[in-house]
Amino acid sequence: MANFNKGGRPRKSTAQKKRYKVDVKMATEEYYVLKSKAQKANLTISEYMRQCIAGSSVRERITPEVQIYIRKLCGMANNLNQIARKANAQGYTNVRKEYIHLADQIDQLIDRL
């Protein structure tokens, strides 16, 4: 028996098939922004979202531990500004010890991050 070709569109390979459907809830404004961006790109919403996923990256949220370190660094930066103000007013030799101590603390915090 001969293999008969029925014609029509060729079958997609398993790698090309789209098997999964994802439902996404969004506000009305978000939906219309998405829709207009897809139209401007001359793509369907699905294809636009696929391209966004493939071409973008998401940064991690800052962990509470890192937030604490950032807060400490901000405080140290404030202290450093105060030391600089003292140094300008009194002369640089009087505040050298404070500066070195604070610089060491900043280096330790940056190493932890």
pTM of the model: 0.47
Closest to 109 (Cα-Cα) out of 79, 85, 88: 79
Q: Is the pLDDT of residue 1 over 60?
A: no
Winning range, highest mean pLDDT, from 24-33, 60-69, 104-113? 24-33
- 73, 95 in Cβ contact below 8 A? no
b/e string for 55-84 if b means 16 or more Cβ within 10 A?
A: eeeeeeeeeeeeeeeeeeeeeeeebeeebe
Could you give the CA distance from residue 45 to residue 28 in angstroms, rounded to a whole number?
Answer: 15
